[in-house]
């Protein structure tokens, strides 16, 4: 499962680094990620299909709206994890609430504020890969990650006309560059000593067959509308990632609760902590 989680993260990140492709593809993707999205109806889905069995999926759907730079967005997302864990996550912009089995829980505005302060401090210190120049400085050859890319001018996704960038990932090259990146001091400290060995990299690369992605941006506004990525996992099945943004920049209504039970109660309920305490 750990390997599948790593591969899922790679699939989810394909389109973020595809700006290192050819010049035409790069200009389309760069513009899309520079365009601010104020609000949208979002669907995010990661699934794993094993043979004829029903796909196991994590899905998150619902509206969100931005509250400005470095601020927590407001959202109301329905969450479904493989039909085993269903609930709702709601953000007021200052606090986060979770609805599960008819009960509402809250993280707490003070905890959210503290988390944002810590993230802002880390963001100021952290090396980031925001451009091809940044990647080269960190020793990444992103262009070699994508040996094949193409552009389709007259596509359609999320209910609008789009321009579509498609490509294939060289998984071996990406994994090796990723492992080298984690060797740098600024990233090594964040990994708490955990590293990828050559044998782990080879094993992960051998698992994946022809990973591909598509990215759609609106033809009229140049804003992101859809990302898809998929790969076949040797001897196991197919891993798929989907992100769809509909009704971009249209008004959304988000009604957040005013209060809830402490989130720790929910965590204990899900992990079985309550039962352990009762049996102690």
> Which has more pLDDT, 125 or 278?
125
Q: Please determine, for residue 192, whether its predicted confidence score (pLDDT) is greater than 50.
A: yes
Structural domain range at position 11: 2-279
Output the pLDDT for position 209.
79
For residue 225, the domain's CATH number is 2.50.20.20
Question: What band does 184 get if pLDDT is binned at 50, 70 and 90?
Answer: low
Cα separation, 271 vs 84, whole angstroms: 13
Contact in structure between 7 and 204 (CB atoms under 8 Å): yes
Cα separation, 98 vs 182, whole angstroms: 34
Both structure tokens of 101: 């089995």
Cα separation, 212 vs 170, whole angstroms: 9
Count: domains in the chain: 1
Tell me the pLDDT tens digit for each residue of 44-92: 999 988 777 777 889 999 999 999 877 899 999 999 998 888 999 999 9
Pairing of strands 74-81, 56-65: antiparallel
Lowest-pLDDT choice from 125-129, 149-153, 191-195 = 125-129
Cα separation, 136 vs 129, whole angstroms: 9
- Which helix (H) or strand (E) segment holds residue 83: the answer is none
Q: Please determine, for residue 155, whether its predicted confidence score (pLDDT) is greater than 90.
A: yes
H runs (alpha helix) in 78-195: 109-125, 132-137, 171-182, 185-188
Lowest-pLDDT choice from 5-14, 46-55, 109-118, 163-172 = 5-14
Q: 16 by DSSP, 3-state: which?
A: helix
Contact in structure between 79 and 86 (CB atoms under 8 Å): yes
Q: What angle do CA 155, 165, 219 make, to 5 degrees?
A: 45
Look at the chain and count its residues.
280
Output the pLDDT for position 161.
97
Contact in structure between 188 and 182 (CB atoms under 8 Å): yes
Cα distances from 53 to residues 58, 86, 94, 176, 242, in angstroms, run 16, 21, 41, 32, 20
Contact in structure between 93 and 73 (CB atoms under 8 Å): yes
Tell me the pLDDT tens digit for each residue of 127-138: 454 444 455 555
Output the pLDDT for position 141.
64
| 140 Cα distance to chain centroid | 21
Q: 232 by DSSP, 3-state: which?
A: strand
Write phi, then psi, for 185 (nearest 5 degrees). Answer: -55, -40
Its pTM stands at: 0.77
Output the pLDDT for position 278.
42
């Amino acid at each position: 499962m750990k390997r599948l989680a790593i591969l899922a993260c790679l699939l989810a990140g394909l389109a973020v680094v595809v700006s290192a492709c050819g010049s035409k593809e790069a200009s389309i993707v760069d513009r899309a990620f520079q365009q601010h999205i104020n609000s949208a109806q979002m669907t995010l889905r990661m699934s794993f299909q094993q043979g004829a069995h029903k796909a196991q999926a994590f899905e998150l759907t619902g509206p969100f709206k931005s509250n400005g730079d470095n601020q927590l967005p407001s959202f109301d997302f329905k969450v479904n994890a493989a039909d085993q864990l269903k609930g709702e996550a709601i953000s007021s912009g200052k606090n986060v609430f979770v609805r599960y089995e008819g009960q509402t829980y809250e993280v707490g505005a003070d905890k959210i504020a503290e988390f944002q302060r810590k993230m802002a401090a880390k963001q100021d210190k952290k090396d980031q890969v925001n451009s091809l120049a940044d990647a080269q400085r960190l020793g990444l050859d992103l262009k070699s990650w994508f040996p094949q890319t193409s552009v389709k001018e007259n596509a359609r996704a999320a209910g609008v006309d789009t321009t579509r960038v498609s490509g294939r990932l060289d998984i071996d090259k990406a994994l090796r560059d990723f492992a080298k990146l984690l060797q740098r001091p600024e990233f090594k400290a964040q990994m708490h000593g955990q590293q990828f060995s050559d044998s782990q990299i080879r094993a992960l690369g051998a698992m994946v067959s022809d990973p591909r992605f598509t990215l759609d941006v609106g033809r009229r506004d140049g804003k992101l509308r859809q990302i898809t990525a998929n790969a076949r996992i040797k001897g196991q099945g197919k891993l798929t990632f989907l992100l769809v943004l509909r009704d971009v920049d249209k008004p959304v209504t988000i009604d957040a609760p005013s209060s809830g039970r402490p989130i720790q109660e929910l965590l204990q309920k899900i992990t079985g902590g309550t039962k352990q305490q009762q049996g102690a």
